[in-house]
């Protein structure tokens, strides 16, 4: 993963809320929703403001006091997963982007790898009846009754 390419949340299709150390995400384009755990709750607000993987790693090291240990492969794998799920997308930095903030290290606790759980059970709600024809009036016809 390009460490200097900014990642942004795929708005407006994706909405999310940080709640008690987890993040609930909803993707309106796909009908899929997600639970982010571990350090995901610290990383998501950074992605909402636009952040590079390098900046996220630096912030995590600062917040969790991680002087040693290589968290980059772990972080890269997780961020790639977010990109694959179309939750975030690479983009260019804007001049007005504020520096992302993390809570002070004492509030964060011990580092745990970010996790992503995916739920597909709502997708059928997006797969409703297609429109087959539109009348001269501009309104759709309902598909003909088979009998």
Give the binding site for other proteins (CB under 8 A).
12, 15-17, 19-22, 24, 26, 28, 31, 33, 35, 119, 121-122, 125-131, 133-134, 137-140, 142
Pick the closer one to other proteins by CB: 91 or 140. 140
DSSP 46-70: HHHH-B-HHHHHHHHHHHHT--SS-
Are 61 and 52 in contact by the 8 Å Cβ rule? The answer is no
Pick the closer one to other proteins by CB: 17 or 101. 17
Pick the closer one to other proteins by CB: 39 or 55. 39
Shortest reach from residue 146's CB to other proteins, in Å = 14
Torsion of CA 27, 59, 104, 46, to 10 degrees: -20
Pick the closer one to other proteins by CB: 95 or 138. 138
Shortest reach from residue 103's CB to other proteins, in Å = 17
Are 50 and 94 in contact by the 8 Å Cβ rule? The answer is yes
Shortest reach from residue 3's CB to other proteins, in Å = 30
Pick the closer one to other proteins by CB: 28 or 91. 28
Residue 84 sits at φ, ψ, to 5 deg, of -60, -35
Shortest reach from residue 44's CB to other proteins, in Å = 12
Cβ neighbours of residue 112 under 8 Å, at least 6 residues apart? 37, 38, 39
Shortest reach from residue 142's CB to other proteins, in Å = 6
Q: What is the DSSP letter of 32?
A: E
């Amino acid at each position: 993963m390009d460490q200097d390419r900014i990642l942004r949340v795929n708005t407006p299709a994706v909405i999310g809320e940080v709640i008690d150390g987890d993040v609930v995400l909803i993707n309106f384009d796909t009908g899929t929703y997600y639970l982010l755990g571990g350090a995901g709750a610290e990383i998501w607000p950074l992605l909402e403001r636009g952040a590079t993987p390098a900046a996220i790693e630096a912030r995590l090291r600062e917040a969790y006091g991680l002087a040693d240990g290589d968290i980059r492969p772990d972080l890269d794998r997780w961020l790639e997963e977010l990109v694959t799920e179309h939750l975030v997308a690479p983009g260019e930095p804007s001049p007005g982007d504020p520096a992302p903030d993390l809570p002070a290290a004492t509030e964060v606790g011990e580092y745990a790898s970010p996790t992503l759980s995916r739920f597909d059970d709502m997708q059928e709600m997006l797969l409703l009846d297609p429109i087959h024809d539109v009348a001269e009036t501009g309104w759709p016809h309902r598909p003909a009754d088979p009998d």
